[in-house]
Amino acid sequence: MAKVLVVTSGKGGVGKTTSSAALGAALAQAGQNVVVVDFDVGLRNLDLIMGAERRVVYDLVNVVQGDAKLAQALIRDKRVESLSLLPASQTRDKDALTPEGVERVIEELREKFDWIVCDSPAGIERGATLAMRHADIAVVVTNPEVSSVRDSDRIIGLLDSKTARAEAGDKIEKHLLLTRYDAGRAARGEMLKVDDVLEILAIPLLGIIPDSEEVLRASNLGCPVTLHNPASAPARAYAEAARRLMGETIEIIVPIERKGLISRLFGRSVA
C-alpha cells in the first residue's frame, strides 16, 4: 500500500528539501518506487537539489489545475530508475493550490508509487498545511537549537489536528529527523543534545544526520547525498533512516566527537 510521507519543520533552512531528496533517493535505492513532490510553490528548490532543473516542463500547479496530465509533469531521475520528481511552479504562489486539486493528485500518485514524499514549505500557512494534509507519516526535520525545536513542536500540534487523518480520528505517525548535528558543539553545550530535543518533542527518533560539508557539496552538484557519496556519514545516516521507515529495526548511534591524538594528549594533561 502506498504511503504518503510529509517532510516538514515549521522553521525554514533546517534541511527539509535536502532531507526530502536524500530520503526519497535512499528509498528508491532500496528498491521502492518513489515520487518526491515539491510543495514549495513560488520558491521551488527540489528540482535543483535533484539536478532536474533543466527538465521541468509542467509542474504541480498545472496538474492541480488540470492543465496537464500527471504523467506529463513527472520527471524520472536519470540515476535511479524508480525515483521521480513532481516539481513545484516557480512563477505562481501557494494560493494556486486547491485542497480538492491536491487531494486528486495525491490519490493519483498513490496508484503509481510506493512512497509519495511531500517536501513541505516552511511556515504554518496554506502551503505547509496542504503538504501535510493527506500524509500517513510525517518526518519532522529539526536542528538541535531552541527556535527550531519550538517550531517543530508547533508543527507536531498541527499534524495532530489539521491533517485528514487527525480529523478522521486517526493517528498520524510522526518521526523526528535531527539534522545538522555537530557532536563537538553539542558536547560543549553550544547545541542542544539529542536527549534534550527528544525530551521536548516526545516523538520517536528516525535518525541523526551529522553536520557535514558533504551535504552542501551534493546539493550544489544537484545530486541527493545518498547518490553522490553513499559512503559518507550523512548518506549512511539517511539510508538507515529510510530503512527504518520501511520497518527495519536499526539501532541509532549518536555521533560522538572524534578527537585527534594531539587533542587527546593535551586534554589529558590539562585535566
Site for another protein in 92-131 (CB under 8 A): 124
Nearest distance from C-beta of residue 40 to another protein, angstroms: 22
Nearer to another protein, 149 or 208 (CB): 149
Contact between 141 and another protein per CB under 8 A: no
# residues near another protein by CB under 8 A: 15
Residue 116's alpha-carbon distances to 3, 57, 100, 106, in angstroms, are 6, 20, 17, 8
State how far Cα 63 lies from the chain centre.
Answer: 22
Cell numbers 530508475 correspond to 81
Contact between 162 and another protein per CB under 8 A: yes
C-alpha grid cell, residue 77: 531521475
State how far Cα 262 lies from the chain centre.
Answer: 38
Contact between 153 and another protein per CB under 8 A: yes
Parallel, antiparallel, or unpaired for β 115-119 and 3-8?
A: parallel
- Give the other-Cβ count within 10 Å of 213's Cβ: 9
The answer to whether residues 148 and 179 touch, using CB atoms and an 8 Å cutoff, is: no
Among residues 161, 195, 249, 262, the one that binds another protein under rule CB under 8 A: 161
The answer to whether residues 116 and 37 touch, using CB atoms and an 8 Å cutoff, is: yes
Contact between 151 and another protein per CB under 8 A: yes
Among residues 53, 108, 114, 160, the one that binds another protein under rule CB under 8 A: 160
Nearer to another protein, 110 or 162 (CB): 162
The answer to whether residues 177 and 165 touch, using CB atoms and an 8 Å cutoff, is: no
| Stretch near another protein under the rule CB under 8 A, chosen from 156-164, 206-214, 225-233, 260-268 | 156-164
29 backbone φψ class: left, alpha, beta (φ>0; ψ -120 to 50): alpha
Tell me 10's DSSP state: S
Nearer to another protein, 92 or 174 (CB): 174
Tell me 131's DSSP state: H
Among residues 30, 56, 158, 164, the one that binds another protein under rule CB under 8 A: 158
Nearer to another protein, 109 or 141 (CB): 141
Tell me 143's DSSP state: -
Nearest distance from C-beta of residue 37 to another protein, angstroms: 25
CA–CA distance, 249 with 268 (Å, rounded to integer)? 38
Contact between 166 and another protein per CB under 8 A: no
Among residues 200, 205, 221, 246, the one that binds another protein under rule CB under 8 A: 200
Among residues 81, 167, 199, 248, the one that binds another protein under rule CB under 8 A: 199
Nearest distance from C-beta of residue 125 to another protein, angstroms: 10
Nearer to another protein, 37 or 138 (CB): 138
Contact between 173 and another protein per CB under 8 A: no
Cell numbers 531528496 correspond to 21
Q: Where on the chain is the footprint of another protein (CB under 8 A)?
A: 124, 146, 150-151, 153-154, 156-158, 160-162, 199-200, 202
